[in-house]
Amino acid sequence: MQSFEYASPLTKQDAVKLLAEKGAEAAVLAGGTDLLSLMKDSVVAPARVVSIRSIEALRGIDRDAGGGVRLGALATLDELIADEGIGADYPALVHAASGVRSMQLRSQGTVGGDLCQRPRCWYYRGGFGLLATNDGKPLVPSGDNRYHAIFGGGPAWFVSPSSLAPALIALGAGLRVFGPKGERQLPLAEFYRAPRAAGEREYDLAADEIVTDVFVPAAKGRRSATYEVRQKEALDWPLAAAAVSFELQGGRIRSPRVVLGHVAPTPWIARDAEKYLGGKAADETHAQRAGAEAVKGARPLSMNAYKVRLAQVAVKRAVLRASGQEV
């Protein structure tokens, strides 16, 4: 690991100032569960590490007057799991956070850190960049692509690694970002993007900005669930996941949201599945068909066609789980 400056500001204003002074040569440290491994593997070598852990304004889980929830960027996964209100109103979030099996990662990993986690793609982690090229040639399509994207069509083939993002997007969450020009808010669904050229980032966050808060609208009786399929139950990233939310009126689904995880460079909104589910009975037949609709347009690579089936199953089981039919 190369030497670096370390700063621990007490305010978000000081944090972004310290980041701006170094630009792309600075890095934000929250829980550290991802950044430190990137630094140890020499994937990144920041000249300055700015820890935001001492900024109290970024902590906490709070209810607003309308019944919605604010998640501070430094709220931990353990705090999410332990919050009874989150468990009652947003079970999809608890399902997603609980999927992180490591007690150490859950105690240190933060909401903001999870949303800004860098891809687990072994080409990226091996130093070949987000687009995984060598001498201008893409490595993924003709290489070992067992765990890569089945949606998006390139040139980025990594999968978004966030555990919480699919659930939060299904719940209609928004994000607040702070930088030298002040704060801005955007829907979480618009935060992620698939890089098209070298140098582009996988999310809408400048080098001198930090994520400060996530806002989740009031549940208002909406049901939600996340279902993940992983190779082993111990610490492991899912092979495919699905998060859903919907209203259930007279046994029929209203206003459904279906978001796939770990199958594309961004959390993947399954529009065809959403369109199909609207007005349907919440039963196994329609849940299974929704899974088939969700993978329309999938374009698997040479070694990851199995992900199509896993995504179908994840959608089916998430729909059933949200409707109270555990499988």
pLDDT at 281: 97
CB 36 within 8 A of CB 57: no
pLDDT at 33: 86
Residue by residue, DSSP assigns 128-158 as ITTTTEETTEESTTTS--TTS-SSS-SS---
Q: Long-range CB contacts (< 8 A, 24+ apart) of 246-249?
A: 246/222, 246/277, 246/322, 247/221, 247/222, 247/223, 248/223, 248/282, 248/323
How open is the CA angle 286-85-235, to the nearest 5 degrees?
A: 70
- Report residue 274: phi and psi, to 5°: -65, -45
Residues 6+ apart with CB under 8 A from 232: none
Domain 56-116+160-216 classification at class level: alpha beta
Residues in the chain with pLDDT values less than 70: 233-235, 327
Q: What is the pTM of this model?
A: 0.96
pLDDT at 152: 96
Show me where the domains of the chain are located.
56-116+160-216, 224-322
Report d(CA 16, CA 7) in Å as an integer: 11
pLDDT at 234: 66
Instruction: Note the pLDDT tens digit of each residue in 259-317.
Output: 999 999 999 999 999 999 999 999 999 999 999 999 999 999 999 999 999 999 999 99
CATH of domain 224-322: 3.30.390.50
